[in-house]
Amino acid sequence: MMAKHVIAAIVLGLLLWLPAGCGTKPEPAVEPDVETQVEAADDAETEAGEASAESMAFDDLFHRAQQEETETEPPPPPRVITLKDIHFEFDKFSLTPEARRTLSSHARELGESPSLRIQVEGHCDERGTQEYNLALGQRRAQAVKDYLISSGVQPSRISIISYGEERPLDPRSNEEAWGTNRRAHFKNL
């Protein structure tokens, strides 16, 4: 019983806390320029008989502008971007020149979506041992993270994980498959 009340209280609190959704006239939060807002609202009301659509539009714009300045405004939902895999040489975690070029481009894309967080997965081909490959995959993911950080991406936006040889992309056992599997893969978080 208690729990239900608590949950109801939390939900109510959240509803009051969150600004209303798009399309409706937003409730003004307590703000420094609340007077201006009230004035604008009053203006809208005194002209109630005239071109109400116009004034509503103005109100909407005004309130939206207000919203963009508030700290409680949630960030716009991050774009989902696809960062392509980079590949490694056999038994190595160093970055090839091609990998560096790709990563520089990834860094730029990440710069354009500052709220985006990613996870870098380090993978190996099947030919090593399970234990060392877990460590090597980790080292590969770390090498990618280090490069992205040196290219200006904030460290807190990048997490890393190793899957060793356990998650090959190409299940075949040939050079082509192995090359495909020695990769760092990027996942949106």
Partner 1 sequence: MNSGFISNSPTRSTLARLTPVRRIAGSARPWVVLVACLVLSAGPSWAQREIYLGIHTTGAQQISLLVDEFTCELDRLSARVLANQASEILRNDLDTSGLVETTSSSVIKDELGLGSLSLADLNPRFDASTQGRLSVEGGDIVIEARLFDVPTQKLVASFRRRIAESAFRSAVHQMADHFLHALTGEMGIAETKIALVRETERGMDICAMDYDGHDLRVLVQNGEMNLLPAWSPLGDEIAYTSYIGGDPGLYVLNLDTGVRKRLATLGELNTSAAWSPDGQKLAFSATRGGDPEVFVMRRDGGGLEQVTVHRAIDCSPTWAPNGHEIAFTSDRAGTPQIYVMASDGTNVRRLTYEGDYNDSPSWCPTGDRIAFTGRIGGRFRICIVPVQGGPVYPLTDGPGSHESPSWAPDGRHIAYVSNEGGKSAIYIINADGTNKRKVSTSPHRLHAPSWSPPLSPRLVAKLSEG
List residues binding partner 1 (CB under 8 A).
91, 128-132, 134-136, 138-139, 141-142, 159-163, 166
Nearer to partner 1, 25 or 167 (CB): 167
Query: What's the token pair of residue 20?
Result: 């209303």
Instruction: Kindly provide the b/e burial profile for residues 54-88, where b requires at least 16 CB atoms within 10 angstroms of the residue's own CB.
Output: ebeeebeebbeebeeeeeeeeeeeeeeeebebbbb
State the burial class of residue 23 (Cβ atoms within 10 Å of its Cβ: 0-12, 13-18, 19+). exposed
> In this complex, which beta carbon is closest to partner 1, that of residue 99 or of residue 165?
165
Least gap, CB of 121 to partner 1 (angstroms): 10
CB of 132 to partner 1, least distance (A): 4
Residue 109 or 157 having the CB closest to partner 1: 157
- Judged by beta carbon, residue 63 or residue 183, the one nearer partner 1 is 183
Q: Are the C-beta atoms of 148 and 103 separated by less than 8 Å? A: yes
Give min distance, CB of 3 to partner 1, in A: 25
Q: Which two tokens stand for residue 172?
A: 């075949």
Q: Residue 100 Cβ, how far from partner 1 at the closest point, in Å?
A: 20
Which C-beta is closer to partner 1: that of 130 or that of 154?
A: 130
Q: CA-to-CA distance for 39 and 29, rounded, in angstroms? A: 15
Burial of 144 (0-12, 13-18, 19+ CB in 10 A): buried
Least distance to partner 1 from the beta carbon of 87, Å? 19
From CA 144, how far away is CA 77, in angstroms rounded?
A: 25
